[in-house]
Amino acid sequence: MQKPLPRLGVNIDHIATVRNARGGEHPDPVAGAWAAIQAGADGITAHLREDRRHMRDDDMERLQKLCESENIPLNMEMAATEEMLDIALKLKPKAVCIVPERREERTTEGGLDVAGQHNRLVPIIAALNENGSRVSLFIEAAAHQIEVAAKTDAKVVEFHTGAYAHALEDGDQDKADKILKALQEGAHQADKLGLEVHFGHGLTFDNVGPIAAIPEGMELNIGHFIIGEAIFMGLEPAIKEMHRLATQARYG
Ligand code: PXP
């Protein structure tokens, strides 16, 4: 049976953040991915960063095996570098999301400049496509970025919802409304250009509704809040509640 949209991709990076704080093997992000799958996650997302601050190479290999055996897509987030491309080509995840990455940032700040990096991205996207990974580009919902993204062979754009989440956190409803409008218009534009639309970053129980309600959205990728909330309510209830809120926002 077809599950209701939008799909929920659970980003498990921050299980690895907790593990790495002590340098041992606990908690294991792959065990977390298994628990997320049991709780109804539609996909598992993990970002292999250049500095390996959370996921490690062997985590990605174990995740890919788990996802393959559970028939759940692994979405590997990566920077557009030769090193990451080599790893992704060997790993063969179902999906790859290309993100901008700066060493000094705390998390992925801002979207990819597809327009500015077009020539560098095109061969990377082509190699990933040929290797059987569906490529998404993590961008801001800006008309020119969407136009250029549609001219690449990427099949998906993931819109960065961080600015929307921050505006709400700051109590700036006017700003949040403007950003939400841009996300809605961007989703419409991308869909018309044949791109599948995903959303991610900074989403919580409180702010997911208006994003999940955007009709073109096919997937939400959510990590930090779900893993943080799992401390209080457990991973399974946190995932189930996020699913419930997203489905309710979409279908009433
Ligand atoms: N989508 C992308 C492309 C990301 O880089 C991240 C953060 O790693 C997320 C979604 C999830 O963001 P958050 O952890 O704030 O839910």
CATH code, 62 = 3.20.20.70
More confident position, 44 or 102 = 44
Residue 10 covered by a domain? no
Length of the chain: 252
What's the mean pLDDT in 34-60?
A: 96
Contact 176, 161 (CB under 8 A): no
Contact 85, 98 (CB under 8 A): no
What's the whole-model pTM score? 0.96
Q: How far apart are CA 76 and CA 124, in angstroms?
A: 14
pLDDT computed for residue 252 by the predictor: 83
Instruction: Look at residue 1 and tell me whether its pLDDT is greater than 90.
Output: no
Residue 11 covered by a domain? no
CB of 203 closer than 6 angstroms to any ligand 1 atom: yes
Residue 5 covered by a domain? no
- Closest by CA to 96, choosing from 154, 43, 135, is 135
DSSP 99: -
Q: How far apart are CA 103 and CA 123, in angstroms?
A: 23
Residue 119 covered by a domain? yes
Instruction: Look at residue 138 and tell me whether its pLDDT is greater than 80.
Output: yes
Q: How far apart are CA 89 and CA 68, in angstroms?
A: 16
Is 47 known to be catalytic?
yes
- Which of these is catalytic: 201, 216, 219, 243? 201
Task: List the residue whose alpha carbon is closest to atom 3 of ligand 1.
Answer: 138
DSSP 8-23: EEEE-HHHHHHHHHHT
Burial (CB count within 10 angstroms: exposed 0-12, middle 13-18, buried 19+), residue 63: buried
Please state the domain count of the chain: 1
Is 160 known to be catalytic?
no
Is 54 known to be catalytic?
no
Contact 31, 18 (CB under 8 A): no
Q: What is the overall mean pLDDT for the chain?
A: 95
DSSP 155-198: -EEEEE-HHHHHHHHTT-HHHHHHHHHHHHHHHHHHHHTT-EEE
- Closest by CA to 159, choosing from 241, 218, 224, 81, is 218
Residue 73 covered by a domain? yes
Each residue's pLDDT tens digit, 179-219: 999 999 999 999 999 999 999 999 999 999 999 999 999 99
Q: What percent of the chain has pLDDT over 90?
A: 93
Q: How far apart are CA 55 and CA 223, in angstroms?
A: 13
Q: What domain range includes position 59?
A: 17-251
Q: How far apart are CA 112 and CA 81, in angstroms?
A: 13
Instruction: Give the number of the atom of ligand 1 that is nearest the alpha carbon of residue 201.
Output: 12
Ligand 1 centroid – CA 151 distance (Å): 24
Residue 7 covered by a domain? no
pLDDT computed for residue 188 by the predictor: 98
Residue 8 covered by a domain? no
Residue 9 covered by a domain? no
